[in-house]
C-alpha cells in the first residue's frame, strides 16, 4: 500500500503536480530540521492565532479607561499592569497584534509586486530602462528608511494608512535590487533564448518566465525584511506619526510609557518585549527559508 510519504518522495513522479508536491515536501522536511526556523515559525503562528482570537484572549476592553486603576503593577487581575489611563496593557498588546499584522500584510502586498516587476523589467530589458529604474532605486537607497518614511508621513499626515504608504514607498528598492540580480542570471539561460525564438514578447517573457523564478528570493527577502518593517512602524508610532490614539499600537504604547519608564517600568517594557519577540520570529523564519529556498 502506497503512503503519502512514498507518493511525495518517489524518484519517478507520474505527473507535474506530483513532482511539485514532492519538491515542496522535501523543502518542508529540510526546513523542519532547522530548530531555530521552527521557533520562528511558531512565533509567527502564535501571532496569527492571538490576532484571530484576540477577543477571547484579552482580559479587558483595550480602550476602556479607569483612572482609579491607573499605573497598577502586574498582578493576577492585570497580567502586564495598567497604563496612565487605567487601561489593561495585556489586552492592548493582544489587540496590538492585529495592527502589526495589518501593517505587515499591507506592506507585503504592495511592496513585493512593485519591487519584483521593477527589478525584473530592469534586469531583462537593460539599456536605458535599466539605467533609469536603477538610478531611481539608488535615490531611495541613499536615504535611511526611517528618515525617508518620516518625510513621507510628514507630507501625507499622521495615521495608520499613511504610515503604511510611507513604509511601502521606502521599502521597495531592496526588492528591486534582488529581482534585478536574479533576472541578469536568468536571461542568459538557454530556455529563455528558446522562448524568445518562438516569438514571445519581452513583457510576456518577463511576466511568465522571469518573475516566477525570482519569487523564491523575494519571499526570503520579504520574510527577513518584516522585522525592519515592524521596527519602522513602531518608530513612527513612537513619534506619534503612525496609528493614532486610542488604537493599541505597540510603538505608541512605548511612547506613552516613556515618562514613567523608571517608576512604572511595565508600561513601556511589555510592548517593547512584544516587538522584540515578533521581530525575532520573522528573522528566524527568514533565515530558515533562505537555507531551504536559496540553493547558493
Q: 185: Cβ–Cβ under 8 A, 6 or more apart, which residues?
A: none
Mean residue pLDDT across the chain: 86
> How many residues does this entry show for the chain?
296
Give the three-state DSSP class for 1: coil
**H or E element that contains 162:** helix 160-186
Lowest mean pLDDT among 128-137, 185-194, 249-258: 185-194
pLDDT at site 2: 57
With vertex at residue 88, the alpha carbon angle to CA 85 and CA 92, rounded to the nearest 5 degrees, is 105
- Rounded CA-CA distance 166/50 in Å is 27
pLDDT at site 17: 83
Do the Cβ atoms of 196 and 153 come closer than 8 Å?
Answer: no
pLDDT at site 1: 47
pLDDT digits (tens, 9 = 90+) for 55-83: 999 988 898 888 888 888 998 888 899 99
Q: Where are the domains of the chain?
A: 38-293
Sorting pLDDT into bands at 50, 70 and 90, what band is 23?
A: confident
pLDDT digits (tens, 9 = 90+) for 121-178: 888 888 888 899 999 988 888 888 888 888 888 888 888 888 888 888 888 888 888 8
pLDDT at site 296: 54
pLDDT at site 148: 85
The predicted model scores a pTM of: 0.85
| Helical spans, DSSP H, in the chain | 4-9, 16-32, 35-52, 54-57, 89-125, 127-141, 145-156, 160-186, 190-197, 202-205, 211-238, 250-257, 266-293
- Rounded CA-CA distance 284/223 in Å is 9
Quickly count: other Cβ atoms within 10 Å of residue 2's Cβ.
7
Closest by CA to 90, choosing from 105, 74, 109, is: 74
pLDDT at site 144: 84
- Rounded CA-CA distance 66/49 in Å is 28
Give φ, ψ of 160 to 5 degrees.
Answer: -65, -45
pLDDT of 275 > 60? The answer is: yes
pLDDT of 34 > 80? The answer is: yes
pLDDT-above-90 percentage for the chain = 21
Q: Which fold is adopted by the domain 38-293?
A: MetI-like fold (1.10.3720)
One-character DSSP codes across 69-106: GTTPPS-SSSTT-B-TT--BHHHHHHHHHHHHHHHHHH
pLDDT of 194 > 70? The answer is: yes
Highest mean pLDDT among 87-91, 184-188, 197-201, 292-296: 87-91
Amino acid at each position: 500500500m502506497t503512503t503519502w510519504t512514498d507518493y511525495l518522495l518517489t524518484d519517478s513522479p507520474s505527473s507535474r503536480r506530483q513532482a511539485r508536491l514532492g519538491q515542496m515536501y522535501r523543502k518542508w522536511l529540510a526546513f523542519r530540521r532547522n530548530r531555530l526556523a521552527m521557533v520562528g515559525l511558531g512565533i509567527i503562528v502564535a501571532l496569527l492565532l492571538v490576532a484571530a482570537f484576540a477577543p477571547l484572549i484579552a482580559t479587558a476592553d483595550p480602550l476602556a479607561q479607569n483612572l482609579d486603576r491607573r499605573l497598577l503593577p502586574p498582578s493576577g487581575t492585570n497580567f502586564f499592569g495598567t497604563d496612565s489611563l487605567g487601561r489593561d496593557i495585556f489586552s492592548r498588546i493582544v489587540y496590538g497584534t492585529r495592527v502589526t499584522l495589518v501593517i505587515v500584510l499591507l506592506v507585503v502586498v504592495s511592496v513585493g509586486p512593485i519591487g519584483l516587476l521593477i527589478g525584473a523589467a530592469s534586469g531583462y530589458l537593460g539599456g536605458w530602462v535599466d539605467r533609469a529604474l536603477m538610478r531611481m532605486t539608488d535615490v531611495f537607497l541613499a536615504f535611511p528608511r526611517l528618515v525617508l518614511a518620516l518625510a513621507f508621513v510628514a507630507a501625507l499626515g499622521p495615521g495608520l494608512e499613511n504610515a503604511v504608504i510611507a513604509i511601502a514607498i521606502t521599502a521597495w528598492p531592496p526588492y528591486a535590487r534582488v529581482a534585478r540580480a536574479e533576472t541578469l542570471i536568468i536571461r542568459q539561460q538557454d530556455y529563455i533564448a528558446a522562448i524568445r525564438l518562438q516569438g514571445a514578447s519581452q513583457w510576456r517573457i518577463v511576466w511568465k518566465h522571469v518573475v516566477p523564478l525570482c519569487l523564491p528570493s523575494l519571499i526570503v527577502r520579504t520574510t527577513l525584511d518584516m522585522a525592519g518593517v515592524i521596527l519602522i512602524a513602531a518608530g513612527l508610532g513612537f513619534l506619534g506619526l503612525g496609528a493614532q490614539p486610542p488604537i493599541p499600537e505597540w510603538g505608541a504604547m512605548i511612547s506613552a510609557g516613556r515618562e514613567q519608564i523608571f517608576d512604572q517600568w511595565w508600561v513601556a517594557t511589555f510592548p517593547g518585549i512584544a516587538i522584540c519577540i515578533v521581530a525575532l520570529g520573522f528573522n528566524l523564519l527568514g533565515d530558515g527559508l533562505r537555507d531551504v529556498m536559496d540553493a547558493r
